Chains A and B, each alone.
Chain A
Amino acid sequence: QVQLVESGGGVVQPGRSLRLSCVASGFTFNNYALHWVRQAPGKGLEWVAVISYDGSNAYYANSVKGRFTMSRDSSMNTLYLQMNSLGPDDTAVYYCARPGVSGNGWNYYYYHYMDVWGKGTTVTVSS
């Protein structure tokens, strides 16, 4: 079945880096853009970033731009989120999510809603 499994979360000190992974299965990885969405404890959902089907393009939320970088490895069916200069506001459950539209294009049509979600991985930034 279609599945996304995140990993890589943990406790990290402020200012340090962490890389999250999301392994996809049950669908053609190269045909979909992919998102990261996070949720701070007791708070709402916050969109983080989206990457194109081939990894050549990405958009980021202003809150993470310049610090976070998305990438993907089609040989491993894996999505990554490299997080640098982490601060307490980055503490959250991080979800990867797949859009409902497949295709080898890059505009909002290919990522404007998320129909498959992983269970999330927890990142805690604390000294």
Chain B
Amino acid sequence: QSALTQPASVSGSPGQSITISCTGTFNDVGTFNLVSWYQQHPGKAPKLIIYEVTKRPSGASTRFSGSKSGNTASLTISGLQAEDEADYYCCSFSYETSGMVFGGGTELTVL
């Protein structure tokens, strides 16, 4: 039950776009369109921003978008803002355990 693979950190300037990748296997990301993404600010609980690869929950910014190709899912944040500086986690259903598996997390720095 290995964690999904994310880059440890990414950065971008205000107004730019960044993409965070999330790589799994055919047991999780590759087979199921059940990838979700969470934003977590320091000391706070995670917040859902994308589910089922591409869907945004009510209230989530339209600047967040998701996609998937093969075993890799991606989160794109467009028009970066200072408030986007946070940790981002992907998550997927895992056939291996019938449970969930998270990525290691990516720290986003807005320069």
Q: How far is the CA of A118 from the CA of B46 in the complex (A)?
A: 9
Contacts of B40 in A (CB 8 A): 45
Q: How far is the CB of A27 from chain B (nearest CB, A)?
A: 15
Which of A37, A63, A112, A120 has the largest number of chain B CB atoms within 10 A? A112
**Tier of interface size on chain A:** 20 to 34
Contacts of B91 in A (CB 8 A): 45, 47, 113-114
Q: How far is the CB of A98 from chain B (nearest CB, A)?
A: 10
Contacts of A59 in B (CB 8 A): 97-99
Contacts of B32 in A (CB 8 A): 108, 112
Return the chain A residue nearest B45 by Cβ. Answer: A117
Contacts of B104 in A (CB 8 A): 44
Q: How far is the CB of A11 from chain B (nearest CB, A)?
A: 20
Cross-chain contact A45 with B57 (CB below 8 angstroms): no
Q: How far is the CA of A35 from the CA of B104 in the complex (A)?
A: 18
A8 located at the interface, meaning its Cβ lies under 8 Å from any Cβ of chain B in the complex: no
Among A37, A61, A114, point to the contact of B48 (Cβ < 8 A).
Answer: A114
Cross-chain contact A118 with B45 (CB below 8 angstroms): yes
B51 located at the interface, meaning its Cβ lies under 8 Å from any Cβ of chain A in the complex: yes
Contacts of B38 in A (CB 8 A): 45, 114
Contacts of A111 in B (CB 8 A): 100
Cross-chain contact B48 with A120 (CB below 8 angstroms): no
Contacts of A119 in B (CB 8 A): 45
Contact flags (1/0) for B78-108 with A, using CB distance below 8 Å?
Answer: 0000000001010101000111111111000
Given A35-B100, A108-B93, A114-B1 contact (CB < 8 Å): no
Cross-chain contact B57 with A100 (CB below 8 angstroms): yes
Contacts of A114 in B (CB 8 A): 36, 38, 46, 48, 91
Contact flags (1/0) for B39-53 with A, using CB distance below 8 Å?
Answer: 010000111100110
Q: How far is the CA of A62 from the CA of B103 in the complex (A)?
A: 16
B34 located at the interface, meaning its Cβ lies under 8 Å from any Cβ of chain A in the complex: yes
B3 located at the interface, meaning its Cβ lies under 8 Å from any Cβ of chain A in the complex: yes
Q: How far is the CA of A61 from the CA of B102 in the complex (A)?
A: 11
